[in-house]
Amino acid sequence: MEIILKQDVPNLGFKDDLVTVKDGYATNYLIPKGLAMMALDSEKKKLAETMKQRAFKEEKVKKEAEKVAEKLQDIEVKIGAKTGTSGKIFGSVNALQIAEAIKNQYDIDIDRKKIMVDGDAIKELGTYTAKINLHKDVRVDLKFEVVGE
């Protein structure tokens, strides 16, 4: 079944993408939750017109995302965390703390929802990599180090 996404869906596509999924996934999950709509001919025409108008704005947003990606390319963020004697962290380091550390150390605003950490949370000291999706065509791998306070 062809559907048009109303918002970004991880591992499927971005807002206003025309994707093909299995019928059950569309009718039982995506459409009832308001994440997608059926791709009827009239909806496809509306989508084409909207995409044509949005192309100019999209190019500007993409260039800004590329500038931010260039800044993030060579930096390494240090995140302080309280630890026990074995090197384990009390609590965990997640995307929110990474976004705050980038803001505090380099004055770059990044939405925490755009930061993906393997395993969703870090529970030990060490060096890790987070994937940052600044734009659907612009992704950056950010190295960060979790250090004890």
The token pair that represents 99 in the structure block = 């976004």
Give the domain extent around 142. Answer: 68-148
Q: What is the pLDDT of residues 13-58, one digit of tens each?
A: 988 899 999 999 999 999 999 999 999 999 999 999 888 888 888 8
Q: Are residues 141 and 83 in the same domain?
A: yes
The pTM of the whole model exceeds 0.75: no
Q: Are residues 29 and 87 in the same domain?
A: no
Q: Are residues 118 and 74 in the same domain?
A: yes
Terminal Cα distance for the chain, rounded: 52
Q: Are residues 73 and 117 in the same domain?
A: yes
Q: What is the pLDDT of residues 108-141, one digit of tens each?
A: 999 999 999 887 678 888 899 999 999 888 999 9
Question: So what's the pLDDT on residue 120?
Answer: 66
Overall number of domains in the chain? 2
The token pair that represents 4 in the structure block = 């048009």
DSSP state of 9: B
Q: Are residues 59 and 122 in the same domain?
A: no
Q: Are residues 77 and 35 in the same domain?
A: no
Q: Which residues contact 78 (CB under 8 A, 6 or more apart)?
A: 101, 105, 144, 145, 147
Identify which of 83, 64, 79 has the alpha carbon closest to the alpha carbon of residue 143: 79
